């Protein structure tokens, strides 16, 4: 019994030290980023946006981020027209969605659908896949995204929003991060008047499709999301951040919002 108690005591001590060390690392990472949340009058910003009579399109409205983003935009009524561009027609029961314009396209032949990208002031790209293997991933997350951005630019879009990923880096040795980084750089080269890149960490959302590794990460990180928002983020916070960032004036032509910046903007939208 004494041996058992001794081993258990050592294990408990080791676990305690590990937890304390992990908390210290997370605290350092969390506080190494800017904490300041800017003050904004969202009501005035919404009224200003409505007066501009702007239009927008959303790519990937059937996905988790796109769905949340569409809900935020419809509720705030900040655009005179909202166009959904996707591979299939979406159905909505809520009458608030009855005035949406939907353009069904074949992403393998996007060049034949230039009309769908014409005349929009703001574009949101939430395209992404995790089910098609490496080749399919590159085709969707790079080729489809880049071609859509090219058509949007040619069609007159001035502010393009791209949902990317934390750690995106065109020089990375990891295909996922490298692809995300490459498409960021190539869209930047298109020269939009304003280009906003969002790099969320682990997205906290109940997906319909099964992603075991992401599910485990969500369960672990979900408990820390409000304390350490550099680790994970609710999908609704990403959507709100994209909307709030649309309403605010851009300080730079190209802006990269890392996870905590997204989290902070999302909190502003949530407080409204």
Catalytic residues: 176, 180
136: CB partners within 8 A, 6+ apart: 129
**Greatest alpha-carbon span in the chain:** 78
Task: Name the token pair of 146.
Answer: 């880049």
Terminal CA-to-CA distance of the chain, rounded, Å? 59
Query: What 3-state class would DSSP assign to 199?
Result: strand
* Helix-strand-coil split of the chain, %, nearest 5: 50, 15, 35
Please count the other Cβ atoms lying within 10 Å of the Cβ belonging to residue 172.
15
Per DSSP, 129 falls in state -
Rounded to an integer, what distance in angstroms lies between the CA atom of residue 66 and that of residue 59? 7
Please count the other Cβ atoms lying within 10 Å of the Cβ belonging to residue 117.
26
Helices (H) and strands (E) in the chain, counts: 9, 9
Per DSSP, 97 falls in state G
Rounded to an integer, what distance in angstroms lies between the CA atom of residue 246 and that of residue 42? 11
Rounded to an integer, what distance in angstroms lies between the CA atom of residue 78 and that of residue 243? 9
Q: Which of 119, 60, 67 is nearest to 86 (CA)?
A: 60
Paired residues of 162 in beta bridges: 125, 197
């Amino acid at each position: 019994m004494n041996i058992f108690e001794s081993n258990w005591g050592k294990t408990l001590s080791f676990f305690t030290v590990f937890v304390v060390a992990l908390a210290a690392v997370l605290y350092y990472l969390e506080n190494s980023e800017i904490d300041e949340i800017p003050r904004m009058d969202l009501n005035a910003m919404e009224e200003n946006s409505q007066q501009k009579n702007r239009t927008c399109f959303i790519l990937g409205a059937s996905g988790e981020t796109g769905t949340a983003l569409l809900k935020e935009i419809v509720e705030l009524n900040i655009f005179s027209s909202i166009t959904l561009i996707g591979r299939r027609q979406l159905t909505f029961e809520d009458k608030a969605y009855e005035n949406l314009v939907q353009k069904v396209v074949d992403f393998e032949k996007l060049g034949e659908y230039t009309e769908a990208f014409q005349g929009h002031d703001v574009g949101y790209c939430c395209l992404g896949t995790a089910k098609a293997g490496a080749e399919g991933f590159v085709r969707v997350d790079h080729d489809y995204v880049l071609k859509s951005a090219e058509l949007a630019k040619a069609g007159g879009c001035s502010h393009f929003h791209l949902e990317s990923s934390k750690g995106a880096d065109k020089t990375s040795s990891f295909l996922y991060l490298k692809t995300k980084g490459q498409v960021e750089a190539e869209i930047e080269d298109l020269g939009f008047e304003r280009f906003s890149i969002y790099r969320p960490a682990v997205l906290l959302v109940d997906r319909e499709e099964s992603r075991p590794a992401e599910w485990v990460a969500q369960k672990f990180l979900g408990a820390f999301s409000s304390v350490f928002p550099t680790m994970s983020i609710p999908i609704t916070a990403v959507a709100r951040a994209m909307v709030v960032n649309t309403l605010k004036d851009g300080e730079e032509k190209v802006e990269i919002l890392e996870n905590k910046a997204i989290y902070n903007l999302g909190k502003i939208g949530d407080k409204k």
